[in-house]
């Protein structure tokens, strides 16, 4: 196997820590205090706005303002902090020229941050990299079957985005076949256009089953895999340490709660396991709680972590080699307006990989409006 990084096998034992970011970030708290009234008294929008009389062309969009504070501990024991305000704006149009064809186009702000698909823009940066994050056409003229091509959301059921970040809409050919409680997903994703070199791609497949118990509880189970075809043009070897991945997941859902998990394994010789378990509880129509526990090893997810969620702070493009937890409070302020408050805490699993910081914590407030 092509080992891309030197490794030191000393392992950090994970133990949750008391959140410290709030006390260390008075500027962050002042920012939050000033932003909450903006959302509480904001004008709510309606659902996607029809442009034509028949409703076959609709405008839609959303905007998010984020206040964020990070605290990280370096391998040498020193710490560093960061406060920042971030925003995301997206606007698009969906269209259905006839009963067999439909499509969607959406523009989004971009970012030069670590994530290659991040659409959050740091406030104060020049917003000159707005571009298409969605652009696909689809055909559903065959019963139970939908075919999509273009820059499209990945048709892959998961519970917490460790397989693939939902903001990453790849160029792909995708097929979805639904029959009763069973859904079959298949896609071929273009990871990298090679021009004169070979392209990098991935074939994905999955089967999901959603049904109900006699007492009304809904359950979903899913199993699938991803198989990469990517060769390093300089070495002629595999571009990633794990080239094949398998995932199983499940969810049990009640009227006001849900519990779920994802488990992923890559084919690297080591550092090849990832899992997340989480639960949600809706206290009322406007307030909800969430809790997540993560364990993501270095080569467990597709692309050695390049496509997984990037909510946990990281100095590297890939958000992997960590275990930690996320706590979240959701609050719906009105129709199509809501906010959430999150706390992330993580430690690396194996020291000596990419000189990653050993401990991270992040506190985050998101203010969202959509139409």
Q: How far apart are CA 118 and CA 83, in angstroms?
A: 18
> Burial of 229 by CB count in 10 Å (0-12 exposed, 13-18 middle, 19+ buried)?
middle
Residues 129 and 110: beta-carbon distance below 8 Å:
yes
Backbone angles phi, psi at 29, to 5 degrees: -65, -35
CA triple 286-260-287, angle to 5 deg: 10
C-alpha 133: how far from its chain's center? 14
User: What was the pLDDT predicted at 72?
Assistant: 87
How do the pLDDT tens digits run along the chain, 371 residues long?
A: 444 443 333 333 333 333 444 444 555 565 555 555 544 444 434 457 777 778 799 999 999 999 999 998 877 778 889 999 999 999 999 999 999 999 999 999 875 443 444 555 555 554 557 889 999 999 999 999 999 999 999 999 999 999 999 888 999 999 999 999 999 999 999 998 876 777 899 999 999 999 999 888 999 999 999 999 999 988 999 999 999 999 999 999 999 999 999 999 999 999 999 999 999 999 999 999 999 999 999 999 999 988 988 887 665 556 788 999 999 999 999 999 999 999 999 998 887 655 567 888 999 999 999 99
* Bridge partners of residue 74, in order along the sequence: none
**Residue 213, token pair as written in the block:** 């118990």
Q: How far apart are CA 266 and CA 202, in angstroms?
A: 14
**Residue 227, token pair as written in the block:** 């198989």
* Bridge partners of residue 274, in order along the sequence: 264, 296
Q: How far apart are CA 356 and CA 286, in angstroms?
A: 38
Report whether CATH 2.60.200.30 matches the domain 21-370: no
* Bridge partners of residue 99, in order along the sequence: none
Q: How far apart are CA 340 and CA 66, in angstroms?
A: 10
CA triple 136-138-143, angle to 5 deg: 160
């Amino acid at each position: 196997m092509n080992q891309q990084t030197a490794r030191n096998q000393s392992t950090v034992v994970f133990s949750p820590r008391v959140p410290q970011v709030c006390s260390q970030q008075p500027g962050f708290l002042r920012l939050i205090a000033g932003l909450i009234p903006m959302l509480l008294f904001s004008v709510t929008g309606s659902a996607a706005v029809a442009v034509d009389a028949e409703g076959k062309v609709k405008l839609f969009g959303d905007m998010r303002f984020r206040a964020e504070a990070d605290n990280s501990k370096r391998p040498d024991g020193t710490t560093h902090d960061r406060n920042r305000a971030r925003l995301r704006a997206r606007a698009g149009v969906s269209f259905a020229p006839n009963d067999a064809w439909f499509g969607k186009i959406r523009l989004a702000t971009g970012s030069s941050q670590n994530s290659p698909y991040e659409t959050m823009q740091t406030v104060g940066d020049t917003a000159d990299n707005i571009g298409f994050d969605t652009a696909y056409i689809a055909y559903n003229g065959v019963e139970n079957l939908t075919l999509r091509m273009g820059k499209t959301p990945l048709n892959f059921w998961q519970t917490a985005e460790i397989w693939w970040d939902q903001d990453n809409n790849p160029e792909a050919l995708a097929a979805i076949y639904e029959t009763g409680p069973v859904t079959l997903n298949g896609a071929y994703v273009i990871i990298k256009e090679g021009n004169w070199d070979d392209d990098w791609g991935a074939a994905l497949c999955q089967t999901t089953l959603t049904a109900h118990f006699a007492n009304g509880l809904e359950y979903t189970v899913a199993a699938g895999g991803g198989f990469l075809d990517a060769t390093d043009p300089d070495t002629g070897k595999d571009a990633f340490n794990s080239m094949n991945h398998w995932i199983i997941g499940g969810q049990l859902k009640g009227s006001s709660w849900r519990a779920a998990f994802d488990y992923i394994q890559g084919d690297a010789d080591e550092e090849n396991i990832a899992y997340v378990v989480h639960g949600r509880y809706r206290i009322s129509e406007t307030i909800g709680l969430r809790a997540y526990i993560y364990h993501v090893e270095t080569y467990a997810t597709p692309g050695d972590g390049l496509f997984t969620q990037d909510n946990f702070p990281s100095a590297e493009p890939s958000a992997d080699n960590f275990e930690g937890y996320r706590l979240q409070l959701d609050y719906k302020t009105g129709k199509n307006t809501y906010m959430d408050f999150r706390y992330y805490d993580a430690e690396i699993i194996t020291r000596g990989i990419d000189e990653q910081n050993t401990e991270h914590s992040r506190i985050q407030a998101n203010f969202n409006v959509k139409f």
